[in-house]
Amino acid sequence: MAAALLAAVIGCVGLHLPAKAADTAAPSISSLSAVVYAPSSNMVLYEKDADTPRPMASTTKLMTALLAAERLNPEDEVAVPVGAVPVEGTQLGLTAGDKVLVQDLLAGLLLSSGNDAANALALLMEDSLPTFASRMNEKARQLGMTNSLFVTPSGLDEGGHSASARDMARLGGAVLQQPLLAQLCAAKTATVTLNGARVTLRNHNRLLNLYAPCIGMKTGFTKKSGRCLVSAAEKDGVVLVVATLNGGDYWNDHMALYEYAFSLVEQAQMPAADLPDCPVAGGNATMVPLTAQLPDAFVVRRGQTVRARVYAPAFVWAPVQQGQVVGEIEYVYEDRVLARVPVRAAQGVEASLLPSPLVLCARRFIEWIEMLLA
């Protein structure tokens, strides 16, 4: 409490990025809804009717894959549950009771868009498809997807199954945080074992061949939804996600949006903060040096500023352990906190064997303040 009571901003460092005018104006696209999203900074770079819920077809499978990656062991061999098949639309050809690896089901889900794989994964996690839909909606709320309603694990049209482009871009960013899913979404082919036979699956996402920076993710189409696509691309360390719903020429839509958005941003290393020594009370040293690790780089708009705000206590009581957390640095961009990193004691300080009367009085005073605030 004493540290919190006495903490104050003792430094602020700005990282000024060189301005660069975008060479490309915002493109005109065929998709009815679209968002370009920078996940590392939680920043939207382009939007078109971003919050209207629309059927999103098989891009839904990104949510099914995300839940499976969090809750199932990819190396487990499982039996395809009764109730997973038959199902309409694109299928891997699974039958109830088939033995298959979870990671092979995920490959069939993300590359070949198997609706039977989606149902199988859902029923491995929950006892019914409606129960799994509830789990999908719970996860959507956790991700901040505020204009989504999941009804099916595959994306087949049913009820009000829909999501906004903003929500699907946010979901794409979450999927990229799962290494296996990111690897599968980026794969042009994958060899799996189905019904005892080795089968090569081919990714439906043609953007992997059309656009070199593309690193995934998932296509979707029904007559009701039109052409949907959630994709990701990386250039010069910058990772962006594009989500489009109900599009015609969605391959060119995505390439145009990437070229536009990449011209607006760059990857920025965070500035090092100037950390002063911190006073120590009741120790065999009067000061302790502070240290902090720099966070990962973030995607920021060119010409804007990232600020590092340092919070540290007015003093700390001995003993102080090396590595002890005594404060915090906030990295702030566009009024958002991008990261918080702990400020630690760079070395230890032992307590004095005979604390002075002044130190004892100060300690008593702080304890009294803490009691009043409790």
- Active-site positions? 58, 61, 113
| Torsion of the alpha carbons at 207, 210, 211 and 217, rounded to the nearest 10 | 10
Closest CA to 99 of 120, 124, 79: 79
Is residue 56 within 8 A of residue 168, CB to CB? The reply is: yes
Q: How far apart are CA 16 and CA 83, in angstroms?
A: 57
Residue found by looking up tokens 């008593």 in the block = 364
> Sheet holding 305-312: strands in order across?
8-16, 305-312, 325-333, 336-345, 290-291
Query: Dihedral through CA 133, CA 137, CA 138, CA 141, nearest 10?
Result: 170
DSSP letter, residue 273: P
Distance CA 20, CA 38 (A): 18
How many alpha carbons lie under 13 Å from residue 50 in its C-beta half-sphere? 16
Which secondary-structure segment (H or E) carries 300? strand 298-301
Residue 152: name the closest of 128, 168, 184, 127 by CA. 128
Q: Which ranges of the chain would DSSP assign to H, the alpha helix? A: 2-6, 61-71, 102-110, 115-125, 129-142, 165-176, 179-186, 207-210, 250-262, 357-373
Which residues, including other chains, have CB under 8 Å from residue 2's CB and lie 6 or more apart? 313, 317, 366, 369, 370
> For residues 11 and 311, what is the distance between their CA atoms, to the nearest angstrom?
8
